[in-house]
């Protein structure tokens, strides 16, 4: 007989009814929980710890991104600008530490209109506000809850360009690998591009992979997806002895994944508004909770797939840099002239 469990109350405290329904449907139909749902509640502490670890390490992907932001800052503050001030639009704003110096430089130079934190998670928005307004009491901090996998850039971002006395443009930061974690990368780029103006830039970074003949499985021992898996098992009240957490490379999809292998039959009861619904998980089934699409860098350092995807989304890559040791790309993009 299947083990019967009920989703714990703390799960409902974290998610809206629409999100509960979305999670239920993903789990029911695809055996997936998108990673975008793992930036709330107790997991915030894991993200904060990761930010601190990256900031303290002598070499880290966050350090590469920090360097990239520093170069953007020099370029924008020293060159002739097309506007009086900018709005920094931080897409996925989970690392206030990373943008601290960047925001501070624009403020010091009187070139910042507002800092806009865009994120699906209210807990991340709260953390961003807390940190940035403590460091910079004069900062015009604006938080906007948005799911970039579902809808175009919200109008609240466009509204922030309005200023009675000065011209204001948006610059979009989308750093930290998140772009490769989504299910539909093209849709995400299109959602971002939908809110951009022709003279505005998107600055994006993510990890890539140099062409290799054999791939190693993903090591999840210290990876954040392990904490996320444990959190999910707790929400669903699945016994830890009845699950294994698996990291692997999915050849067919072209990236790394973390799945939870269920080792016993479970009937899990969800409450969706006033109704109860049951998901039956069978022994041997896997739930995917993390994915990282691995763009390949060719031996001549080109990345045709990155260029093709961005072009398809209506974005032109103006600058393409690779950090070879940590396998990371940094892109500067704007709208393709044809889509303006
Ligand atoms: C790995 S963190 C990146 C943080 C930071 N930008 C950096 O460079 O380290 C990803 C952030 O994106 C947010 N996020 C993930 N999926 C999202 C979605 N579909 N819509 C909006 N925000 C999302 C998360 O809540 C989290 O704050």
Tell me how far apart the terminal alpha carbons of the chain are, to the nearest angstrom. Answer: 59
| Mean pLDDT (the chain, rounded) | 95
Alpha carbon of 264 to those of 2, 29, 238: distances in Å?
Answer: 7, 19, 9
Q: Which atom of ligand 1 is nearest to the CA of 90?
A: 6
Position 340 pLDDT exceeds 70 = no
Residue 36 lies in a domain: no
Same domain, 202 and 217: no
3-class DSSP assignment, residue 162: coil
- DSSP code for 32: B
Q: Is 178 in the pocket of ligand 1 (CB under 6 A)?
A: yes
CA–CA distance, 322 with 334 (Å, rounded to integer) = 19
Q: How many domains does the chain have?
A: 2
Residue 140's pLDDT is 97
Going by alpha carbons, the residue nearest to atom 7 of ligand 1 is 176
Q: Is 175 in the pocket of ligand 1 (CB under 6 A)?
A: yes
* Cβ–Cβ under 8 Å, residues 203 and 311: no
Task: Report CA(217)–ligand 1 centroid distance (Å).
Answer: 24
Same domain, 218 and 314: no
Answer yes or no: do 178 and 122 share one domain. yes
Closest CA to 141 of 109, 108, 103: 103
Residues 303 and 277 grouped into a single domain:
no
Question: What letters, b where the CB count within 10 A reaches 16 and e where it falls short, cover 268-278?
Answer: bebbeeeeeee
Same domain, 153 and 250: no
Closest by CA position to 229, among listed 259, 256, 266: 259
pLDDT at 166: 94
> Is the confidence at residue 211, as pLDDT, over 90?
no
* Whole-number Å distance between alpha carbons of 301 and 238: 45
Q: 237 and 91, same structural domain? A: no
User: For a substitution probing ligand 1, which of 70, 174, 178 has the most ligand atoms within 8 Å of its CB?
Assistant: 178
196: pLDDT confidence band, cut at 50, 70 and 90?
very high
41 part of a folded domain = no
What is the percentage of the chain residues whose pLDDT exceeds 90? 89
Give the residue numbers spanning the domain of 234.
3-30+213-293
CATH number at residue 202: 3.40.50.150
Tens of pLDDT, residues 111-165: 999 999 999 999 999 999 999 999 999 999 999 999 999 999 999 999 999 988 9
pLDDT digits (tens, 9 = 90+) for 300-325: 999 999 999 999 999 999 999 999 88
Closest residue by Cα to residue 228 from 47, 10, 83, 48: 47
- pTM of the full predicted structure? 0.96
Answer whether residue 25 is part of any domain. yes
Q: How many CB atoms lie within 10 A of CB 302?
A: 13
pLDDT at 80 (0 to 100): 83
Radius of gyration of the chain measured on its C-alpha atoms? 21
- What pLDDT was estimated at residue 217? 84
């Amino acid at each position: 007989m299947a083990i019967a469990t009920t989703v714990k109350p703390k799960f409902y405290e974290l998610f809206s009814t629409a999100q509960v329904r979305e999670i239920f449907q993903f789990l029911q139909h695809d055996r997936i929980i998108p990673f975008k749902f793992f930036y709330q509640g107790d997991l915030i502490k894991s993200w904060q710890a990761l930010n601190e670890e990256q900031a303290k390490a002598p070499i880290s992907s966050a350090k590469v991104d920090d360097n990239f932001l520093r170069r953007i800052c020099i370029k924008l503050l020293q060159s002739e600008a097309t506007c009086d001030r900018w709005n920094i639009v931080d897409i996925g704003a989970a690392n206030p530490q990373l943008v601290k110096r960047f925001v501070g430089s624009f403020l010091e130079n009187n070139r910042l209109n507002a800092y806009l934190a865009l994120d699906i998670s209210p807990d991340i928005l709260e953390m961003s506000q807390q940190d940035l307004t403590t460091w910079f009491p004069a900062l015009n901090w604006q938080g906007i809850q948005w799911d970039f996998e579902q809808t175009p850039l919200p109008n609240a971002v466009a509204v922030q360009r309005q200023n009675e006395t000065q011209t204001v443009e948006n610059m979009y930061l989308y750093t930290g690998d998140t772009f490769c974690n989504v299910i539909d990368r093209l849709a995400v780029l299109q959602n971002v591009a939908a809110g951009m103006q022709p003279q505005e830039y998107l600055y994006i970074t993510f990890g890539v992979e140099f062409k290799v003949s054999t791939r190693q499985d993903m090591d999840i021992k210290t990876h954040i997806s392990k904490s996320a898996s444990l959190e999910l098992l707790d929400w669903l009240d699945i016994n830890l002895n009845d699950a294994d957490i698996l990291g692997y490379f999915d050849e067919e999809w072209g990236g790394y994944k973390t799945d939870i292998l269920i080792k016993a039959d479970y009937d899990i009861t969800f409450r969706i508004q006033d109704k109860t619904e049951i998901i039956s998980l069978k022994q041997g089934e896997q739930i995917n909770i993390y994915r990282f699409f691995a763009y390949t860098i060719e031996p001549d350092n080109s990345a045709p797939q990155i260029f093709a995807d961005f072009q398809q989304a209506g974005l032109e890559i103006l600058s393409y840099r690779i950090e070879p040791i940590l396998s990371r790309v940094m892109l500067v993009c704007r709208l393709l002239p044809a889509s303006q």
